[in-house]
A and B are shown apart, each in its own frame.
Chain A
Amino acid sequence: MAKVTVENLTKKYGKTTAVRNISFDLEDNEFFVLFGPAGAGKTTILNMIAGIGDPDEGRICFDGQSMNFIESSKRNVAMVFENYALYPHLTIYENIASSMRTKAHREPEEVIDREVKRIASLLRLEGLLDRKPSQVSNGQKQRAALGRAMVRKPNIFLMDEPLAHLDAKLRNAMRKELKAMQDKLQTTTLYVTHDYAEAMSLGDRIAVIHQGEICQIGTAEEVYNMPATEFVARMFGDSEINILQGVLRREDSTLKLVLPLSNRSYELPRHTAEVLEASGRKQVDVGLRSSAVRYSWRPEEGYVKGTVYTMEPLGNKVELTVKTEGGAVRLMVPVTETPDVDETIYLAFDVSGGIYFDSDSKEYIVCQKETAGKEGKR
């Protein structure tokens, strides 16, 4: 396994810039996730590392050695493609064995046989080795594609949305399997996905990509709790984060937050107040995850009135969208609650659990977790 460095990578297709000035490092044996919406440029980055496309600017190094314009067959990287890209005319066995039958990675037949069987048992493909790709299910194709990459000892594993075409149940199972395998095998992996749950569960670190640029690189905990921008905050979580426009007001010599939903002013935690004070802003965006929204069916002190607009059952929870005078708010309620549409509901906000953003630049300012979470690294 190698240390992979990506420096100032830029790729243009005609007039559109697909990837703009991207840099990151992969430590040895790190599982690094490129996460972002469709069309963000994730696959383009992956392809440049594999040598499928050449960067217009910037450099890719494996262990300090520049890989620019080196043909992909000479880079010793293994890749799992979104559409599997198995060899349709070869059996699963031959697909997995294929790399060991090339000049570059030639192995004797006994070794090939042993390795293929080892990988096959790891991926539970034993009974399928004589089948052609067209004769197995999507999940099995997926595992075969994974197997074809895993028999190798490459500089880096590249995975392009390998679970995207599986149904939800299989996807969860495969995700757990991948994680277990990663812990066992200790490989350097670059993994592309648009699924936040995959990113958070698999990634040692996650790079969030938006419109060809990196918004943030950090651990799952960091991107979830301290998102660098409102965009990053919106991308993570079952229920999209509520972003409310708040006004900061000085009352009794302490800084308080006024939300548009009520004229009530909220007390802020000390650290948060200090940072906000220092930023000198009067207006902030407050990101409140559904866990920071409490609810009641009866009017209570400090609660805001609203009506249930939509309900979406998500297994053991139900996501509600509530219309209030100040805008729509999303929150989770237990599945035992069965409100009617247009039923009146009362909401309260736990602003100390909020994430504060600059209302102009949409960039992170502060959150409570920063102080609670040990050193508050960023």
Chain B
Amino acid sequence: MKELTKKPLLVRIRPWLILLPTLVVTLGILYPFATAIYYSFTDYSLKSTAYEFVGIKNWVEMFTGKEFWHSLGVTLKYAVLATALEMILGMVIALTLNTEKRWAGILKVILIFPLMVAPVIAVLLWSLMTNTSIGILEKFLNLFGVYAFPWWAASSTALFSVVMIDVWVNTPFVLLLVLAGLQGLPKSPYEAARIDGGSAWFTFKTLTLPLLKPVLLIALIFRIVSTVQEFSIIYATTKGGPGDTLMNLSLSAYMDGYTYSSIGRAIPQILVLWILINVITKKLVGAWLKAKSAN
């Protein structure tokens, strides 16, 4: 046998060979992504295959038009409201469930169920709940003299109603993560705090909250990224309406692209959304890494 002076080629490129299938399917998605950016400089339409390069026209029109700023506002309003409610509710419920009691064990399983429900199916369920003829919520509101509450049919109550469905589906996500975080907390600092005689609130503020920070940040990242691009729930309830009340960037891009067939106008909005998501995640992931190493 000859002496080897370096590793055989096959051994050196082994990791890349193993990754190859994934890279192949991945390229399949990076390519359309690149073409998407190109399309934003054309008048590409679903109606015809011919298209022309139009420069930054789509971008200028977007930034000077009122619709874009409205959609951006709706996007942020929806994301902040839904995420905040889910985070607070998820955390509070997790804290009340954080005991070894039997009922808590059962609830910990049952309360996760809504998370498994598809958003569109959740809309179906809440349509049954809020239906003015048969819905139990309607019957309940009747007791207080409120009849035919419009829910997402009226622009004054639409945002609240749709966010409610988002909260119903996704609060369990925060709940699940915070429960896991609470379970993983070290025991000894709590014993020390009890000996020191600090109040429950003080222990929570100085001990639990900082220790939970990494988990809370992970929950926050996943929720904000998801709510900022919410499509399914809004589409299934109001398609962005009533009027343009819930027309966030995802819906608006969909309408421009599919209903009005202008891909060139749709893509810049989505790219703005994509940049927004990137900025948010970069910030939050940085904070998460810091919090994780601090603990």
Residues of B in contact (CB 8 Å), total: 8
Are B1 and A69 in contact (CB-based, < 8 A)? Answer: no
Chain B binding surface SS class:
loop
Complex Cα gap A70–B4 (Å): 8
For B1, the chain A residues whose CB sits under 8 A away are 65
B interface footprint on A55-87 (CB within 8 Å = 1, 0 otherwise): 000010000011011110000000000000000
A68–B3 touching, CB < 8 Å: yes
Q: Are A54 and B7 in contact (CB under 8 A)?
A: yes
Chain B residues near A54: list those with CB within 8 A: 7
Chain B hits for A66, CB < 8 A: 3-4
Name which residue of chain A comes closest to B3, CB basis: A66
Asked if A68 contacts B11 (CB within 8 A), the reply is no
Tell me which of A54, A65, A66, A69 has the highest count of chain B C-beta atoms within 10 A of its own C-beta.
A69
| Distance from A41 Cβ to chain B, minimum over Cβ atoms (Å) | 22
Partner of B6, one of A59, A65, A69, A71: A69
Q: Looking at B3, B6, B8, which has the most chain A CB atoms within 10 Å of its CB?
A: B3
Determine the distance from Cα of A65 to Cα of B3 in the docked complex, in whole angstroms: 8
B1-15 contact mask (Cβ, 8 Å, vs A): 1 or 0: 101111110010000
Q: Which of A65, A68, A70, A71 contacts B5 (CB 8 A)?
A: A68
Minimal Cβ-Cβ distance residue in A for B6 = A69
Which of B4, B5, B8 has the largest count of A CB atoms less than 10 A from its CB?
B4
B4 contacts which chain A residues (CB < 8 A)? 66, 68-70
**Min CB distance, B18 to chain A, in Å?**
16
Is the CB–CB distance between B11 and A71 below 8 Å?
yes
List of A residues within 8 angstroms of B8 by Cβ: 69
Shortest distance between the CB of B8 and any CB in chain A (Å) = 7
> Bound state CA distance, A71 and B14, in angstroms?
13
**For residue B6, which residues in chain A have a CB less than 8 angstroms away from its CB?**
69
Q: Kindly list chain B residues whose C-beta atoms are within 8 Å of the C-beta of A71.
A: 11
**Residues on the A chain within 8 Å of B7, using CB:** 54, 69
Interface membership of chain A positions 22-43, coded 1 if the CB is closer than 8 angstroms to chain B and 0 otherwise: 0000000000000000000000
Residue of A with least CB distance to B4: A69
Q: How far apart sit A69 and B6, CA to CA, in the bound complex (Å)?
A: 6
Complexed CA–CA distance, A228 and B3 (Å): 35
Q: How far is the CA of A68 from the CA of B4 in the complex (A)?
A: 6
Residues in A with CB closer than 8 Å to B3 are 59, 66, 68
A69 to B8, CA, bound (A): 8
What chain A residues lie within 8 Å of B5 (beta carbons)?
A: 68-69
CA distance A71 to B4 in the complex (A): 11
Residue of A nearest to B8 (CB): A69
Residues of B within 8 Å of A70, CB to CB, are 4
Nearest Cβ on chain A to B84's Cβ, whole angstroms: 44
Nearest chain-B residue to A68 (Cβ)?
A: B4
Q: Measured between alpha carbons, how far is A328 from B140 in the docked complex, in Å? A: 87
Provide the bound-state CA to CA distance between A310 and B280, in Å. 61
Q: How far is the CA of A237 from the CA of B4 in the complex (A)?
A: 43
**Hey, which chain B residues are within 8 Å of A69, CB to CB?**
4-8, 11
CB of A164 to closest CB in B, whole Å: 27
Chain B residues numbered 1-39 whose CB sits less than 8 Å from any CB in chain A = 1, 3-8, 11
Q: Which residues of B contact A59 (CB under 8 A)?
A: 3
User: For the complex, what is the distance from the CA of A65 to the CA of B1, rounded to whole Å?
Assistant: 8
1/0 per position for B69-100, CB-CB distance to A under 8 A?
00000000000000000000000000000000
In angstroms, Cα B73 to Cα A310, docked, is: 75
Q: How far is the CB of B14 from chain A (nearest CB, A)?
A: 11
A272 to B8 alpha-carbon distance, docked (Å): 56
Question: Which chain B residue lies CB-closest to A66?
Answer: B3
Nearest chain A residue, comparing its CB with the CB of B7: A69
Bound: A214/B8 CA distance, A: 31
Cβ of A319 to closest chain B Cβ, rounded Å: 34
- Write the chain A residue with the least CB distance to B2: A66
Q: How far is the CB of B187 from chain A (nearest CB, A)?
A: 24
Shortest Cβ gap from B288 to chain A (Å):
27
- Using CB atoms, name the residue of chain B closest to A70: B4
Q: Min CB distance, B13 to chain A, in Å?
A: 14
Chain B's nearest CB lies how many Å from the CB of A55? 12
User: What is the CA–CA distance of A286 and B11 in the complex, to the nearest angstrom?
Assistant: 54
Chain B residues numbered 173-220 whose CB sits less than 8 Å from any CB in chain A: none
Chain A residues within an 8 Å CB radius of B11: 69, 71
Measured between alpha carbons, how far is A68 from B11 in the docked complex, in Å?
Answer: 13
For the complex of A and B, list the 9 residue pairs with the smallest distance between their C-beta atoms, beginning with the closest: A69-B4, A66-B3, A69-B7, A68-B4, A69-B6, A68-B3, A65-B1, A70-B4, A54-B7
A69-B5, A69-B8 known; 4 new pairs, CB 8 Å cut-off, are A66-B3, A68-B5, A69-B7, A69-B11
Q: Which residue numbers of B lie inside 8 Å of A, CB to CB?
A: 1, 3-8, 11
12 contacts between A and B (CB under 8 A): A54-B7, A59-B3, A65-B1, A66-B3, A68-B3, A68-B4, A68-B5, A69-B4, A69-B5, A69-B7, A69-B8, A70-B4
